[in-house]
Every structure is written in structure tokens, then in C-alpha cells.
Amino acid sequence: MPRAADSICFLAGDTPMARSAAARLVALYGNHPPDRADVVVALGGDGFMLQTLHRFMGTGIPIYGMNQGTIGFLMNEFRETDLHARLAAAVENEIRPLEMIATDSDGEEHRALAINEVSIFRQSYQAARLRILIDGKVRMEELICDGVMVATPTGSTAYNLSAQGPIIPMDAPLLALTPVSAFRPRRWRGALIPNQRTVVIETLEPEKRPVNAVADHTEVKSVLKVSIHESRTARSLVLFDQDHSWDERILAEQFRY
């Protein structure tokens, strides 16, 4: 069933190209405040799209990205014509973010949401030394590495893919647990985790080998423990053109060589 797409809110990233594109579209279609819009159209790259999805998380307002950046994996092709028809026919996907609870060296808890991934990285020249638990059970007693991440299906084609992690279809009930430059065990390439599980990563030797935790754009320094699970309540809605759906992009990405 086609969605209402009469009222559009245009938002642009902080580049001349994106701002110019927004000005042209506003002249053609008008512009509405976000709280009165049927759809938000985000003009920029994947980074700006990620910011927009965070901003409107939980509002029920779908976000339709048009690429005015570089890679644009989360974006649709930029075209000025027939926008109302494209929006009405677009395929809607629901994104559930990860919830991160990071405990720092002072014992303070920091909470953040991540649409792409939660990452733990070494803070100094020494490799991180970590312990990994799944639902309270130790699954890896010691991982020595530059870092490790838990990625959503949305984030599986981002940093996770660069770290040789698996690509996950949008509707798969899985999370990717992927190491970054694992030294010991050297041949461990990560794991696929059911999305209802809770992953806890503990820092071993935190004073000698400090690590930071990052949930998308939120960074916490000198963490002792990070708990990660898929949110049961928060969600974002993203729209893709029918002829260039998320499923098609995932399939195409897996056959690149």
C-alpha cells in the first residue's frame, strides 16, 4: 500500500553539494518542519544519513536518503524528478539499534545507541587484552587484538566488512562479532550471534592496556566493561527505492571482487 508522501522535510549535510541539492528540491516540492512531515529526505553521505536516523529514532518518521556524498550505501540515487511517486512506492525497512552500556575506570556507566556497530579499540601502543561473554557465559577467555566490534545487519557492510566480518541481510536475526587484527587466537575470525543475546566484553589489564568503546559517534574512554544488546524498544525507519532495495544491495555486495 503506497504511503502518504505529500509533506516532505528536506535536511542537508554540511557540504556545498548537499546544500545546493536541498535548495533545488525545496524549490520544487516545498519544505515542512519535521513534526509535520510524512517523510524526511536526507541529502548527503552515509555519515549524515546515520546522524539523521539517530535524530529521528523512535518518532515513526521514515527517512529517505539521497546520495550527495561518496559511497552512499545507505542512500538512494539522487534525482530531482518524480520524488512524490518514489517516496510513495519505496520499501520500508526497520532498523533496531544496539544498546551499549560502558563502565569506565571511575565506575561510571555510559549509555548510547548504535545503528552500525559498537567497537572496542586499544587506546595505546599495546594490544588490547579482552574477555568475551555471551549471556553471562565466557566464550573467549582471552582475545589479544587491536579491537573487536558487534555489528548490526545495517552496519555489517560498514567497518565490519572492512575488518573481514560477514555481511548480514537486513531481516536476519543476527549480529556479527568481529575482531580487528586478532593476535591471539590468531586464526579467530569472529562469530555470528543471535540478536537476542547480550555480549559483554571485559578489559583485562585495564591500566596497562586501556581501551575505548565507541557506539557509532559516541566514544567512552578507558572502559572496564562493555555490555551490548539489541534494543527492544528503539527503532528507526529507512526507505529504499524498489529497484535498488537493501536486499539487492546486500546480494550485490557479496559478489563484488
Which of 95, 1, 13, 88 is closest to 49 using CA atoms? 13
Residue 99 φ/ψ, nearest 5 degrees: -105, 125
Residue with cell 562469530: 191
Phi-psi region of 38 (alpha: psi -120 to 50; beta: other; left: phi over 0): alpha
Residue of 6, 14, 46, 241 marked catalytic: 46
Which of 180, 194, 223, 216 is closest to 134 using CA atoms? 194
Binding residue per annotation — 237?
no
DSSP state of 127: P
DSSP state of 160: H
Give the separation between CA 35 and CA 57, rounded to whole angstroms.
13
Asked about 46 being catalytic, the answer comes back as yes
Binding residue per annotation — 247?
no
Binding residue per annotation — 171?
no
Give the separation between CA 121 and CA 221, rounded to whole angstroms.
10
Give the separation between CA 242 and CA 42, rounded to whole angstroms.
18
Binding residue per annotation — 46?
yes
Pairing between β-strand 39-44 and β-strand 8-12 as defined by DSSP bridges: parallel
Binding residue per annotation — 161?
yes
Binding residue per annotation — 47?
yes
How far from 199 is each of 51, 67, 139, 189, 190, CA to CA, in Å?
25, 34, 10, 17, 13
Binding residue per annotation — 162?
yes
User: Strand (E) positions, 135-242?
Assistant: 137-145, 147-151, 174-180, 191-194, 199-203, 211-215, 218-220, 223-230, 236-240
Binding residue per annotation — 158?
yes
Binding residues: 46-47, 116-117, 146, 157-162
Binding residues for NAD(+): 46-47, 116-117, 146, 157-162
Residues with a catalytic annotation lie at: 46
